Structure 1
Amino acid sequence: MDGTPHAPAAKPRVSITYCTQCQWLLRAAWMAQELLSTFRDDLGEVALVPGTGGVFVIACEGDILWDRSRDGGFPDVKALKQRVRDRISPARDLGHLDRP
């Protein structure tokens, strides 16, 4: 070791863009908390991004995982966690969430 500090490997960033006009902050914050609890060692950040016009978009590293207008409403937590898992760690088992 050369004595210089090494930056930790970058972990994925998830963003949740929510509509402030629709007052969806609590929904976005709850989903962020669920993701941070489940993927505590795998995510570097979950950002809450205020928006307008009915937007509710969840993205990981620029890839849209869920768009309220495209996907029809809001994701349930199971679907959201599975989409995040499929993006950041496809081989990971989510336990009871993966069972029918």
Structure 2
Amino acid sequence: MKLLCAGAELVNDSSRGFDIDGQKLFAVRRSGQVYVYINRCPHRGVALEWHPDQFLDPSNSLIQCATHGALFLIEDGECVAGPCAGQSLSGVTCREDEQGIWVSL
């Protein structure tokens, strides 16, 4: 397991990008739960963020691809709208403890 960040660095309804050993990832916290995905849209293989650390739609309720607007569920990465509907983001196993958020790569 590799340390992603301290838990306090990812507040509720926010997202943040990371580069762990050359692997581009992003994390989202929703209702206290952390979700981590590989930062690659299944449609074109491009990075998702609009600006650094901005992976969510304006309502902070869905992950949104900046390239073509595809929308993904935060909880499981499933695309629910856009050209890759039915596909999913690649999830990364994570856990959180008092030291921070950890990922398995």
Q: Same fold (TM over 0.5)?
A: no
TM-score for both structures, normalised by structure 2: 0.29
TM-score for both structures, normalised by structure 1: 0.30
Of structures 1 and 2, the larger Rg is shown by 1
Higher strand share: 2
